[in-house]
Amino acid sequence: MALAKTIGTLLLAAALGLGPGGTAGGPARAQTAAHDTGDALGAVRAVFYHELGHGLIDVLGLDVVGAEESVVDEFSTMLLILQGRRDRRHLDALIAAARFWYLSGDPARAAAPYWASHEIGPARGFAVLCLMHGSDPARFHAALSELGVPGRRMKRCETEYAAKSAAWINILNPHVRPNAPAARQGRMVPAYGPAGTPETEGVRRIWQQAGFLEGLAAEAGAIFPLPAEMPLTARDCGEANAFWDGQGIVLCYEMHAMIAGLFRSARGGDGPAPGSDGIAVQADGYSGSVNLRSLFEAE
């Protein structure tokens, strides 16, 4: 099965909460849980770039226009697409993020107030896929087609990507290596805080054994030198969240656990919790750039 066809089929199934049953046991069950772990790491990577966008707007005074939450969603998507030209694993992270947004909200639900700063999940998922399609229409046409997006809207994705990529490159060019001011010698400083529950302790072990924060910090630092040190902290937050706190980025262990649970539920699975059955070892190797064992490989 072609890559794009597989992406479209699985995204549609995920959006509808459908998927293969999760009754298998033994190695198959552990492998499914490892997929959930890998996809969750990919989605959290996209969330990290979202929060980095908030941070750079703040500390670098980036000249952006529009609702900031939508702006930093674009920033995250664009950075991963551009890096995906050299390493497709960044595209895998975006696919995982799009699946997460589709699963995290229902367009028909009334729970999301109209004044909320974030769009509802499926709209954010579509925005990611739209830019991905615009960056490579031949590769991602089937994904949008199977989600029911009409051809005229897909063509708009192509023109939107061309305009937005040019705008973002123009905005970021003065701030990336080697163009940034020489005085900017700051870096991101990763730190793993304690976990308060068995589930989040499992996530902490996965992240720490994989060098997940160190990889994110190195990857972002290779692009953006900073005016000063910027903390990158993982910890329990009491909720599934991630945020820019005015000084640094906080990634909550609960977010990874929630995302992995959404993926597991969408497939009807009942796999083990993060960090159990050797999954921390299977998820290793994420230092530097995401290393997803993707569900979307061509068969």
pLDDT by residue (tens digit) across 51-83?
A: 999 999 999 998 887 888 899 999 999 999 988
Can you tell me the mean pLDDT for 211-233? 96
Q: Which helix (H) or strand (E) holds 264?
A: helix 253-266
Domain shared by 55 and 168, yes or no: yes
Gap between the Cα atoms of 299 and 85, Å rounded: 22
On whether both 7 and 109 belong to a single domain, the answer is yes
Strands 188-192 and 230-235, by their bridges, are parallel
As a whole number of angstroms, the distance between CA 49 and CA 153 comes to: 26
pLDDT value of position 102? 84
- For 153, the token pair is 């809207």
Residue 224 in any domain: the answer is yes
The per-residue pLDDT for 120 is 58
Taking 60 as the threshold, does the pLDDT of residue 37 lie above it?
A: yes
133 and 267 together in one domain: no
pLDDT digits 0-9 by tens, 255-282 = 999 999 888 888 776 554 444 433 333 3
* 220-244 mean pLDDT: 96
pLDDT band at 26 (very low <50, low <70, confident <90, very high): very low
Residue 56 belongs to some domain of the structure: yes
Residue 15: which pLDDT band, with cuts at 50, 70 and 90?
A: very low
Does 27 fall in a domain?
no
Q: Is the pLDDT of residue 143 over 90?
A: no
Domain shared by 8 and 141, yes or no: yes
Select from 135, 151, 175 the last residue of a domain. 175
Rounded to the nearest 5 percent, the helix, strand and coil shares of the chain are: 60, 5, 35
pLDDT at 23 over 60: no
**Global confidence as pTM:** 0.80
Question: Which of the 8 DSSP states describes residue 179?
Answer: T
- Within a 10 A sphere around the Cβ of 69, how many other Cβ atoms? 16
Q: 252 in a domain, yes or no?
A: yes
Packed helices 253-266 and 26-60: angle between N→C axes, nearest 10 degrees: 130
- Position 104 confidence tier, pLDDT thresholds 50, 70, 90: confident
- Number of Cβ atoms within 10 Å of the Cβ of 285: 16
Please enumerate in sequence order all residues whose Cβ is within 8 A of that of 192, keeping only pairs 6 or more positions apart, or say none. Answer: 204, 207, 208, 213, 234, 235
Residues 75, 169, single domain; the answer is yes
What is the residue-averaged pLDDT of the chain? 78
Show the 3-state SS of 219-230: HHHHHCCECCCE
More confident position, 250 or 298? 250
Residues 163, 207, single domain; the answer is no
**Which residues, listed in sequence order, are joined to residue 234 by a DSSP beta bridge?**
192, 251
| Average pLDDT value for residue range 82-99 | 88
Give the separation between CA 230 and CA 240, rounded to whole angstroms.
Answer: 22
Determine the average pLDDT of the residues in 132-147: 87
- Asked if residue 155 and residue 198 are part of one domain, the reply reads no
More confident residue, 9 or 75: 75
Of 83, 107, 103, the residue nearest 93 (C-alpha): 83
Domain span including residue 195: 188-282
Find, among 42, 47, 35, 34, the residue nearest to 251 by Cα: 47
Name which of 33-37, 112-116, 285-289 the model is least confident about. Answer: 285-289
